[in-house]
Amino acid sequence: MAPEATSADVHARAFWIAAPGRGEIRSESLTDPSADEVVVRALYSGVSRGTEALVFRGRVPPSEYERMRAPFQAGDFPGPVKYGYASVGRIERGPRELQDRHVFVLHPHQSRYVVPARVVHLIPDNVPPQRAVLTATLETAINGLWDARPHVGDRLAVVGAGTVGCLVAWLAGGIPGCEVELVDVNPARASIARALGVRFASPATASDNADVVIHASGSPSGLQTALRLAGFEATIVEMSWYGSQDVPIALGEAFHSRRLTIASSQVGTIAASQRPRWDTRRRMQLALTLLADPVVDALITGESEFDALPDVMAKLADEPGDTLCHRIRYPDASL
């Protein structure tokens, strides 16, 4: 009888940024898993359009090369680099209690991979695997809302109706008494806002005097809008990451007399208000639990086959259009 095939006998396929602006699919050999590792066969992955577009274009500043490394990233910025952090798959080898379970992993776009069992996150039975590609982005939104610390009855302005901004607005809309307005230059986002149960406004029609403002548009003009909408002594939580782009900001005019505060938020560290009691694993499990609500399906605006990812990533980086979350489907997704 022939010996059982090991992972080392199997080739995986992975998406690499070969050079800024150019992606390709490469074959890789998997290492044989140890006793505390699992083999995951990918079903779906999600493109984090804002961050991945900056990485794809080679716009990670050298000062952030180490801090911007994703879990299980291979290669170095600006490239060649294997980057991504929203993979959903099925465990095909591992401990018996994990066998065949659907999991979310902070892993680049790859058809199959070996990771420690401790880094996989079990997807609840009431969350469809295809929806779970939103997990990492929802985790970012949770952390941003923790940093913003809104109160019951607050008026919130969320500037930027990308995936992160939409998820922040959706979460904030569930706080009793809160009035949430999602602000964007794209009028097509109005239907998304209605689906999420919040108001929509353009920058010109947005309500001012907000108690809390969260900026997630990724554009300097959006940050200026956020400053304009903030009420007296309000905080503007900056969730956008601009890479190597210089961002002008008007700190004259009424910035000081209105005693405004600009605070950064980044998912790599638990928000200070929660840090004594929460870790990243508990935060991730919260995100997965919240994805039981089908309303967030409205944020998945497209889907492509894995083999098309080099062309898809180039298009999303240059001409995102109305894209929010773009889902990548792997050959075994229908199994």
Task: Read off the CATH number of the domain in which 257 is found.
Answer: 3.40.50.720
Establish if 273 belongs to a structural domain.
no
**Same domain for 192 and 115:** no
Q: What is the mean pLDDT of residues 269-289?
A: 96
**Same domain for 11 and 131:** yes
pLDDT bin (cut points 50, 70, 90) of residue 242 is confident
Whether the per-residue pLDDT at 257 is higher than 60: the answer is yes
Whether the per-residue pLDDT at 195 is higher than 90: the answer is yes
Q: What is the CATH number of the domain that holds 56?
A: 3.90.180.10
What does the pLDDT read at residue 5? 47
> CA 177 to CA 174: how far, in whole Å?
9
Please report the DSSP string for 211-253 in residue order: EEEEE-S-SHHHHHHHHHHEEEEEEEEE----TT-------ST
What does the pLDDT read at residue 2? 37
> CA 118 to CA 284: how far, in whole Å?
13
Establish if 335 belongs to a structural domain.
no
Q: 324 near 299, Cβ under 8 Å?
A: yes
Q: How many CA atoms lie within 13 A of 24 on its CB side?
A: 10
**Same domain for 248 and 300:** no
Q: What is the mean pLDDT of residues 4-23?
A: 80
Give the amino acid at 272: A
Q: What is the mean pLDDT of residues 111-121?
A: 97
Whether the per-residue pLDDT at 51 is higher than 50: the answer is yes
Domain count, the chain: 2
Other C-beta atoms lying within 10 Å of the C-beta of residue 62? 9
pLDDT bin (cut points 50, 70, 90) of residue 6 is low
Say which residues have a Cβ less than 8 Å from residue 311's Cβ, sequence separation at least 6.
Answer: none
Whether the per-residue pLDDT at 220 is higher than 90: the answer is yes
Establish if 254 belongs to a structural domain.
yes
Whether the per-residue pLDDT at 8 is higher than 50: the answer is no
What does the pLDDT read at residue 334? 62
Query: Crossing angle of helices 135-148/280-290, nearest 10°?
Result: 110
pLDDT bin (cut points 50, 70, 90) of residue 28 is very high
**Same domain for 314 and 257:** no
What does the pLDDT read at residue 9? 53
**Same domain for 124 and 156:** no
Whether the per-residue pLDDT at 41 is higher than 70: the answer is yes
Establish if 285 belongs to a structural domain.
no
**Same domain for 232 and 306:** no
What does the pLDDT read at residue 247? 86
Establish if 202 belongs to a structural domain.
yes
**Same domain for 311 and 256:** no
What does the pLDDT read at residue 156? 98
**Same domain for 166 and 91:** no
What does the pLDDT read at residue 335? 56
Establish if 123 belongs to a structural domain.
yes
pLDDT digits (tens, 9 = 90+) for 162-188: 999 999 999 999 999 999 999 999 999
What does the pLDDT read at residue 7? 47
What share of the chain in percent tops pLDDT 70?
A: 96
- pTM metric for this prediction: 0.93
Number of residues in the chain: 335
Domain residue limits at 223: 150-264
Q: What is the mean pLDDT of residues 16-33?
A: 96
**Same domain for 222 and 129:** no
pLDDT bin (cut points 50, 70, 90) of residue 3 is very low
Establish if 282 belongs to a structural domain.
no
pLDDT bin (cut points 50, 70, 90) of residue 319 is confident
The torsion region of residue 169 among left (phi > 0), alpha (psi -120 to 50) and beta comes to alpha
Strands 112-116 and 22-29: unpaired
What does the pLDDT read at residue 233? 97
**Same domain for 127 and 160:** no
Establish if 271 belongs to a structural domain.
no
- In the listed set 226, 248, 264, which residue is the last one of a domain according to the structure? 264
**Same domain for 240 and 159:** yes
**Same domain for 11 and 126:** yes
- In the listed set 246, 264, 282, which residue is the last one of a domain according to the structure? 264
Q: What is the mean pLDDT of residues 217-246?
A: 93
Whether the per-residue pLDDT at 60 is higher than 90: the answer is yes
What does the pLDDT read at residue 252? 82
**What mean pLDDT, rounded, does the chain reach?**
94
